[in-house]
Structure 1
Amino acid sequence: MPVTTIDSRPVHVDQEGFLTEPDEWDEDLATALAAQIGITLGDDHWKAIRFLRNDFAARGETPTLRRVTVAGGIPTKELFALFPQKPAKKLAYVAGLPKPRGCV
């Protein structure tokens, strides 16, 4: 997998820029990743990010938007406000996880 530099540190990414090594992620990197896509993280963003990371750790795959809404208790409309246009994809990117299945 390719290696790129984000926030002055090397990270492994796939061809779309998603981290391939979730253990390389931390909150500082999340802030840098969010800034790259024009998002400033607030408390509601962190709630979604933490749900995604915890669910990924438990299940071994990135949750879909539907799972974040149902199991995470975050309404779809809110996710679109937090991560405009492609919330599942952007949320996974900032959380340092693979793109969810079904995302194009």
Structure 2
Amino acid sequence: MSTKVYAGTEVSLNDEGFFLDPGQWSEDMAPDIAHEVGVGDLTDRHWQVISFMRAEFAEKGTGPTVRALGKTSGVSVKELYQLFPKGPAKLAARIAGIPKPRGCI
């Protein structure tokens, strides 16, 4: 476990950089996390995925897989990989402040 400061707030992270408590996350933190993981500036399409990830986590207790994300978020799998290179579900979950989705390596 470690801590990190995003948008002026200290948060607790696991060894992979995912929030231990998703309740500590705020939208102000997302741009800092996005730059840290190499995603860059967040667009409306990024926010669509981030919001969807948070909603799915709130409803189901886990984030969706890439396949489920591509089918239900309104963003195609191809576009997901353009928005979040090197693992859309994992990167989007990290930026959204939720635990790593099941099935992500």
* Residues 48-100 of structure 1: CA deviation (Å, up to 9, x unaligned): 00011011111111111111111212110000000012111111110101111
* Residues 7-37 of structure 1: CA deviation (Å, up to 9, x unaligned): 3321011011111111111111011100112
TM-score, reference length from structure 1: 0.92
Partner of 1:66: 67
Note if 1:42 corresponds to 2:43.
yes
Alpha-carbon distance in structure 2 between the residues aligned to 1:68 and 1:89: 11
Partner of 1:29: 29
Q: Percent identity?
A: 42
List aligned pairs for 1:64-103, cutoff 5 A.
64-103=65-104
Partner of 1:14: 14
Residues matched between the structures, number: 104
Alpha-carbon distance in structure 1 between the residues aligned to 2:104 and 2:9: 27
TM-score, reference length from structure 2: 0.91
